[in-house]
Amino acid sequence: MTHGPLALGLVGCGRLAEAGYVPTLAAVAAEVDLRLVAVADPDAARRERLAGLAGDAGVGAVAAFRDAAALLDGADVDGVILASPATAHVADAERAGAAGVATLVEKPPAPDATGAAALAALTPPPFVGFNRRFDAGARAVRRAVPAGGPVELRLEISYRRRSWGAHAVHDDALLDLGPHLVDWARWLSAREVVEVVCTELTGDRAALDLVLSGDGDGDDRGPGRATVRAATDRPHAELVELRDGAGDLLARHRLGGLASAVRGRLGGRGADALVTSLAGQIVAFAAAVRGEAPPELGTAADGHAAMTVIDAARTSAADGGRPVPVPRPVEA
């Protein structure tokens, strides 16, 4: 168990690091007694820029390294956040685990289910950054899920990719937003995805219909369904909607949309939703580094479950939208 201030490293100095992790770490540093001490990125200009942004945000002096291996060799860290391209996650998480450093892997955890399974097989396995579990509105919807009977979920996330300005990663909509949406379906409903139909799949759009089920061992939660929509060519908006088996609305959470955009232009935007959800995730990760087990933090098994559904969705799309069964996920 780690006591005292936590030292964190951040691998990947792209837009998520700039707009999300640096301001979040600055905001929660005092609350959870942690500090960002090192960043890494193969692009020298980006890593130096991020180190400068961290200093301007009041985080303190931050060392800059070319990659995760150099950071782990050159900085004394208790935990590391991998906000790098998914193709690097397995190797970097393995290095961190071998060094005794707790790891949080950003989504997507890997490019596909095979890579996600490799992450889940590491000892110790990393955590996975499903930060939307820490959105207050989504948590309120989860509390409204009935203990028994069928449920229906409508889950949507959209944003304009070009306005985000990612430096190096340009995943399609399914890989970009799909893991969050699938994790929402599993986490909100406390059910597994057992079948998927992909009704639309392009670079900027993905539409899935999911069949949900309990564990089958005396589970009285009943079946469920989730309609999932992802878009990377529309204004930012998020929707979580819960209905019972009769179609009656039980809870709804909206974020973004046209009204929010207008308020933002008029100066009434309020707290940044990304920073707010990342703050909850960082607090939970800090607890995990200290040896606690925060229940809402995504696990590598959750990441594998999400990517198994993503792979099944691609199979469905390639076969004209036929229903594809989803294998049971690995145990956490």
Are 310 and 252 part of one and the same domain?
yes
Are 197 and 285 part of one and the same domain?
no
Are 185 and 207 part of one and the same domain?
yes
E strand or H helix at 31, and its extent? helix 22-32
Domains held by the chain: number: 2
Residue 2 has pLDDT above 70, yes or no: no
In a domain, 274, yes or no: no
- Domain with residue 147: its CATH number is 3.30.360.10
For the stretch 116-162, pLDDT in tens is: 999 999 999 999 999 999 999 999 999 999 988 899 999 999 999 88
In a domain, 174, yes or no: yes
Are 215 and 321 part of one and the same domain?
yes
Q: Residue 123 phi/psi, 5° resolution? A: -125, 110
Angle at the Cα of 245 (from 242 to 248), degrees rounded to 5? 55
The stretch 313-329 carries a mean pLDDT of: 94
In a domain, 307, yes or no: yes
In this prediction, residue 272 carries a pLDDT of 82
In this prediction, residue 207 carries a pLDDT of 98
Q: Is the preceding peptide bond at 124 cis, omega within 30 degrees of 0? A: yes
Are 199 and 123 part of one and the same domain?
no
Are 108 and 177 part of one and the same domain?
no
Residue 67 has pLDDT above 60, yes or no: yes
Phi-psi region of 103 (alpha: psi -120 to 50; beta: other; left: phi over 0): beta
Q: In which band, very low, low, confident or very high, does the pLDDT at 290 lie, cut at 50, 70 and 90?
A: very high
- Domain with residue 122: its CATH number is 3.40.50.720
pTM of the model: 0.92
For the stretch 9-34, pLDDT in tens is: 999 999 999 999 999 999 999 889 99
For the stretch 186-209, pLDDT in tens is: 999 999 999 999 999 999 999 999
In this prediction, residue 253 carries a pLDDT of 97
Are 313 and 185 part of one and the same domain?
yes
With 0-12 / 13-18 / 19 or more C-beta atoms within 10 angstroms meaning exposed / middle / buried, residue 243 is: middle
Q: What is the mean pLDDT of the chain?
A: 90
Residue 269 has pLDDT above 50, yes or no: no
In a domain, 331, yes or no: no
In a domain, 273, yes or no: no
Q: In which band, very low, low, confident or very high, does the pLDDT at 293 lie, cut at 50, 70 and 90?
A: confident
In a domain, 275, yes or no: no
In a domain, 214, yes or no: yes
Are 189 and 284 part of one and the same domain?
no
Residue 317 has pLDDT above 80, yes or no: yes
With 0-12 / 13-18 / 19 or more C-beta atoms within 10 angstroms meaning exposed / middle / buried, residue 185 is: buried
Residue 104 has pLDDT above 90, yes or no: yes
Q: In which band, very low, low, confident or very high, does the pLDDT at 38 lie, cut at 50, 70 and 90?
A: very high
Residue 325 has pLDDT above 90, yes or no: yes
In a domain, 83, yes or no: yes
Are 41 and 162 part of one and the same domain?
no
Domain holding 73, by residue range, is: 6-130+280-299
Are 55 and 28 part of one and the same domain?
yes
Are 111 and 140 part of one and the same domain?
no
